[in-house]
Amino acid sequence: MDEKTYTPDEVAAIFQISKHTVYELIKRGELQAFKIGNKMRIEHAELERFKENMKAPAKKQPAEQTSPVTNTNIPIRLSGSHDFLVEHFAKQAARDLNLQIQPSFIGSLEGLMMLYRGQSDIAAVHLLDPASQEYNLPFIHQLFVYESIMVVRLAVREQGFIVAKGNPKSILDFTDLTRKDIHFINRQKGAGTRFLLDSKLSSYGIGPSKINGYGNEEWNHLSAASYISRGIADVTFGIHSAASHLGLDFVPVAKEQFDLVFRYTAENKHSLTELIQYLQSASFKDSLHDLEGYSIEDLGKIIYQTEELE
């Protein structure tokens, strides 16, 4: 029996918000949707997940004494790439540290630019520099010259081809994407996955015009993978965990470094220090489950920090 799905109008009515807001949530990757033709649909399970994530963290009972001046009442803005571990970290930290964390999943590049412009406090990134083949740091060194920055490793992720169960069309490498019988779903410009894909295609000498569906873009891994699960497309490029979530097969291609970039200010310093300590804690590591496609061996490792933070 097929799971119930909703239109953006129906979701807007459920949450008593405008249809425009629903489309913005989908565009930012905060609400996952798929298309049938040119119509957008949201699954019931995704609606329940979204409602659960939107619940305010339970307030802790006030302590007998008030802590010294802290900035825990100031929301911490997290921008960048969507990832299941990032989502889990934000939710767990908000609950356990009694912090307000506002995620905006808009892609690695735009998330890093928001951090650079002072519009967020943390960026979640996995950007491959084509020249050096190094992740994240080349972009960070170019953008952040005078700011107080700390880069902390979250995980190493597997990226590859997400295909139907049994890989019926035998998609094994990038040359298969150029076949006439293959329909592809891409990620949006600025996504770290798109950076990696384009770098690989360039190394194979494959131009975008050779791939049927290269111009069809989705804003997160699950939205792209849902095309495969519904038989609308044959393959997308994404993370192993997205394939596992939808019961699809996965052909590994590369491993990438996924980092959190913290930008310190006078207002957020206390909260960011707490968040990094929490990320490095045994209790957070113990809360992680279903890690197929992830390596957390370096979870919490400081990859880079500016001199004033050393």
**CATH number of the domain encompassing residue 26:** 1.10.1660.10
Residues 303 and 165 in one domain: yes
Residues 175 and 249 in one domain: yes
Q: At what angle do helices 108-116 and 192-204 cross, to 10 degrees?
A: 130
As a whole-number percent, the residues of the chain with pLDDT over 90 amount to 73
Residues 17 and 89 in one domain: no
Tokens of 193: 């996955």
Tokens of 116: 């650079």
Tokens of 203: 């190394």
Residues 49 and 125 in one domain: no
At residue 93, what is the residue type? A
β-bridge partners, 72 = none
Write the CATH number for 190.
Answer: 3.40.190.290
- Residue 66 resides in a domain: no
CA distances from 115 to 57, 72, 82, 102, 111 (A): 24, 19, 15, 13, 6
Convert the pLDDT of each residue in 38-61 to its tens digit. Answer: 678 888 878 888 777 765 444 444
Residues 29 and 118 in one domain: no
pTM of the prediction?
0.79
Q: At what angle do helices 84-97 and 269-279 cross, to 10 degrees?
A: 120
Strands, E assignment, the chain: 5-6, 34-36, 39-43, 76-80, 101-105, 122-125, 128-129, 134-135, 148-163, 184-187, 217-218, 235-239, 249-264, 294-295, 302-305
- Residue 51 resides in a domain: yes
Residues 102 and 182 in one domain: yes
- Residue 25 resides in a domain: yes
Residues 251 and 301 in one domain: yes
- Residue 104 resides in a domain: yes
Residues 51 and 75 in one domain: no
Please tell me the total number of residues recorded for the chain in this structure.
310
- Residue 64 resides in a domain: no
92-129 burial code (b ≥16 CB/10 A, e <16) = bbbebbebebebbbbbbbbbbbbbbeeebbbbbbbbbb
In terms of residue numbers, what domain contains 10?
1-56
CA distances from 220 to 34, 84, 109 (A): 10, 11, 14
Residues 113 and 222 in one domain: yes
Residues 197 and 93 in one domain: yes
- Residue 254 resides in a domain: yes
- Residue 62 resides in a domain: no
Tokens of 297: 């061996």
Residues 50 and 76 in one domain: no
Residues 35 and 78 in one domain: no
Distance CA 162, CA 270 (A): 41
Per-residue pLDDT of the chain (310 residues; tens, 9 = 90+): 456 888 888 887 787 676 767 777 777 677 788 777 667 888 887 888 877 776 544 444 444 444 444 445 789 999 999 999 999 999 999 999 999 999 999 999 999 999 999 999 999 999 999 999 999 999 999 999 999 999 999 999 999 999 999 999 999 999 999 999 999 999 999 999 999 999 999 999 999 999 999 999 998 899 999 999 999 999 999 999 999 999 999 999 999 999 999 999 999 999 999 999 999 999 999 999 889 999 999 999 999 999 878 7
Distance CA 121, CA 168 (A): 44
Q: At what angle do helices 8-15 and 19-27 cross, to 10 degrees?
A: 110
- Residue 6 resides in a domain: yes
* Mean pLDDT taken over the chain: 89
Domain count, the chain: 2
